[in-house]
Amino acid sequence: MSLNFLPGLSSGLLPHGVCFQLRPDLIWLHVASDTVIAIAYLMIPAALLWFITRRPAPLSFGWAIALFAAFIVLCGISHILDIVTIWQPIYYLQGIEKGLTAAVSLATAVAIIPLVPRLLSMRSPEELAEANQRLLEEIASRELAEEELRRSLTDLNRAVKELEQFAYITSHDLQAPLRTISGFSQLLSLRHRDQLQGDAVEFLDYIDKGARQMQLLIKDLLSLSRVGRADAASITRRPLADTITEALKSLKAEIDRSSADIAFGALPEIEANHGLLVQLLQNLIGNAIKFQRPDTRPSIRISIERDGDHWLLSVADNGIGIPADQLDNVFAIFRRLHGAETYEGTGIGLAICRKIAAYHGGDITATSDDSGTQFHLRLPVTIAEQRLLPAEQHEPVPA
Amino acid sequence: MLIQNAGNAGSPTAGSVRAPVILLVEDSVADVRLMQEVLRETGLPHELMIAGDGERALRAIRGEGEYAGCKSPDLVLLDLNLPGMDGREVLRTIKGDPALRRTPVLVLSTSTAESDIAASYDAHANCYLSKPVDLGDFFRLAEALRDFWLRLVVLPPRRSPGDDK
Instruction: Kindly tell me if the per-residue pLDDT of B12 is higher than 60.
Output: no
Instruction: Please judge whether A394 and B113 are an interchain contact, meaning their C-beta atoms are less than 8 angstroms apart.
Output: yes
Q: Name all domains of chain A by residue range, CATH numbers in brackets.
A: 3-122 (no CATH), 126-229 (1.10.287), 232-399 (3.30.565.10)
Contact A324, A283 (CB under 8 A): no
**Position with higher pLDDT, A109 vs B147:** B147
pLDDT value at residue A8? 47
A399, B112: Cβ pair inside 8 Å? no
Q: Which residues of B touch A397 (CB under 8 A)?
A: 110-113, 116
Residues of A in contact with B109 (CB under 8 A): 399
- What sign does the dihedral A96-A99-A101-A103 (CA atoms) show? negative
Q: Which residues share a beta bridge with A299?
A: A261
Q: pLDDT value at position A152?
A: 92
Cβ contact B110–A176 (<8 Å):
yes
How far separated are the first and last CA of chain B, in Å rounded? 26
Q: Note the pLDDT of residue A58.
A: 67
Residues A265-281, mean pLDDT to the nearest whole number: 90
| Domain containing residue B73 | 18-150
pLDDT-based confidence at residue A224 (cuts at 50, 70, 90): confident
pLDDT top residue among A308 and A124: A308
Which residues, listed in sequence order, are joined to residue A237 by a DSSP beta bridge? A271
Dist. CA A55–CA A355, nearest whole Å: 63
* SS3 label, residue A366: strand
Q: Per residue in A211-223, pLDDT tens?
A: 888 888 888 888 8
Question: In terms of pLDDT, which residue wins out, A338 or A28?
Answer: A28
In a domain, B24, yes or no: yes
Candidate from A32-41, A299-308, A310-319, A332-341 with smallest mean pLDDT? A332-341
Q: State the smallest CA–CA distance between residue A395 and chain B in angstroms.
A: 7
* Cβ-based interface (< 8 Å): residues of B facing A: 28, 30-31, 34, 37, 79-81, 87-88, 108-116, 131-136, 138
pLDDT at residue B15 above 60?
no
Residue B1 forms part of a structural domain: no
**Domain-embedded: residue B131:** yes
| Domain CATH code at residue B79 | 3.40.50.2300
Q: How many structural domains does chain B have?
A: 1
Asked if residues B40 and B66 have their Cβ atoms less than 8 Å apart, the reply is: no
d(CA A139, CA B1): 73
Pick from A175, A180, A183: which is nearest to B110 by CB?
A: A175
Q: How confident is the model at residue A5 (pLDDT cuts 50, 70, 90)?
A: very low
pLDDT digits over A70-88, tens only? 889 999 999 999 999 888 8
Q: For A288-302, what is each residue's pLDDT tens digit?
A: 998 888 888 999 999
Share above pLDDT 90 across residues of chain B, in percent, rounded to a whole number: 60
Instruction: Please answer yes or no on whether A178 and B133 come within 8 Å at the CB atom.
Output: yes
Please report which confidence band the pLDDT of residue A11 belongs to, taking 50, 70 and 90 as the band edges: low
pLDDT digit string (tens) for A246-256?
Answer: 999 989 988 99
Residues of A in contact with B31 (CB under 8 A): 176, 179-180
Q: Tell me, what's the pLDDT at B69?
A: 87
Residues of B in contact with A179 (CB under 8 A): 30-31, 34, 131-133
Residue B39: pLDDT over 90: yes
Question: Number of A:B CB contacts under 8 A?
Answer: 68
Arithmetic mean of pLDDT, B29-35: 91
- Write down the pLDDT at residue A340: 66
Q: Report yes or no on B162 lying in a domain.
A: no
Q: Are A318 and A374 in contact (CB under 8 A)?
A: no
**pLDDT tens digits along A355-371:** 999 989 999 999 998 88
All residues at 6 or more sequence positions from A295 whose CB lies less than 8 Å from its CB, including other chains = none
User: What interface predicted TM-score (ipTM) does this complex get?
Assistant: 0.73
Q: Specify which of A99-103, A112-116, A163-167, A263-267 reaches the highest per-range mean pLDDT.
A: A99-103
The rounded radius of gyration (Å) of the Cα atoms in chain A is 48
Q: Is residue B22 part of a domain?
A: yes
**What average pLDDT does chain A have?**
84
> Which residues of chain A are within 8 Å of residue B136 when distances are taken between CB atoms?
186
Asked whether residue B8 is domain-assigned, the answer is no
Candidates A175, A176, A396; nearest CB to B116: A396
Residues of chain A with a CB closer than 8 angstroms to some CB in chain B? 172, 175-176, 178-180, 182-184, 186-187, 190, 215, 393-399
Determine the distance in angstroms separating the CA of B117 from the nearest CA of chain A, rounded to an integer. 10
B41 domain residue, yes or no: yes
What integer pLDDT is reported at residue B144 of this predicted model? 95
* Kind plus residue range of the DSSP H or E element containing B141: helix B135-145
Residue A50 is predicted with a pLDDT of: 83
Q: What whole-number distance in Å separates Cα of residue A292 and Cα of residue A274?
A: 27
Q: Is A322 left (phi over 0), alpha (psi -120 to 50) or beta?
A: beta
In whole angstroms, what is the distance from residue A144 CA to residue B2 CA?
A: 64
* Predicted pLDDT at B11: 43
The three state secondary structure string of A178-242 is HHHHHHHHHHHHHHHHHHCCCHHHHHHHHHHHHHHHHHHHHHHHHHHHHHCCCCHHHEEEEEHHH
